[in-house]
Amino acid sequence: MENIMIKVDQVSKSFGEDMVLKEVSCSFEEGRVYGIIGNNGSGKTVLFKCICGFMKPDQGLIEVNHKRIGKETDFPEDIGIIIETPGFLPHMTGFRNLQILASLRRKIGKNEIIRILEQVGLDPKLKKPVCKYSLGMRQRLGIAQAIMEDPKVLILDEPFNGLDKHGVQHIRSIILELKQQGKTILLASHNKDDIKILCDEVYEMDGGIMKEVMEDEQ
């Protein structure tokens, strides 16, 4: 099927005797938002890291945009990521951090960085270094970094951390806009409202096993 952007097939991952993913299989289509819920330690973040190529599964295969991770490519090319706390150079401005990251692939320039910072609610001219940012500002910068090169796939692990009520509404509207543009978005959140408002389908991770959650269970 042409519109399958992420395919996970029989993926397992253990750390010592602790099996964190147990034969997980799922597929995610273009232009849809998928909620991944579950307690801390349930396997959500490990699954995300395997999809991004940061961890290698013990068994099974993962394809992103029809390329097998670890075989045809080590890291998916067209993907934006927030996993855990975004890492930035603390003594540089948010603009400079994005400029350095953008220079790696040279897909975007100064004007696009200015536009994306404004889109997430940050001032591109702000001279304050990232180490002086609030948690919410740092999270907005992380979202800017994830979406700035217009990726087809977004992996967002707790993207609303540190945001106030206005910030949450603002970022939700951006995610819905990205969905309209045809992005495939995987979203982990502990907030039921985030899942209810944003997600087309919801999956629960529990003890390394993934199952789809029906609407009346959400």
pLDDT tens-digit map of 21-38:
999 999 999 999 999 999
C-beta separation of 168 from 140 below 8 A: no
Residue 59 has pLDDT above 60, yes or no: yes
% the chain with pLDDT above 90: 85
d(CA 141, CA 12): 32
Residue 51 has pLDDT above 90, yes or no: yes
The correct answer on CATH 1.10.10.520 for the domain covering 1-78+151-218 is no
Q: Tell me, what's the pLDDT at 18? A: 92
pLDDT digits (tens, 9 = 90+) for 75-123: 998 999 998 777 899 999 999 999 999 998 889 999 999 999 999 999 9
Residue 9 has pLDDT above 90, yes or no: yes
Domain residue ranges of the chain, discontinuous segments joined by +:
1-78+151-218, 87-150
Q: Which residue has the tokens 């992103």?
A: 64
Where does residue 212 rank: exposed (0-12), middle (13-18), buried (19+ CB within 10 A)? exposed
pLDDT digits (tens, 9 = 90+) for 136-148: 999 999 999 999 9
pTM beyond cutoff 0.75: yes
Helices vs strands, H then E, count in the chain: 6, 10
Residue 216 has pLDDT above 80, yes or no: no
Q: Which residue has the tokens 């389908």?
A: 201
C-beta separation of 12 from 58 below 8 A: yes
Structure tokens at 205: 């991770």
Where does residue 40 rank: exposed (0-12), middle (13-18), buried (19+ CB within 10 A)? exposed
Structure tokens at 74: 């080590």
d(CA 22, CA 204): 13
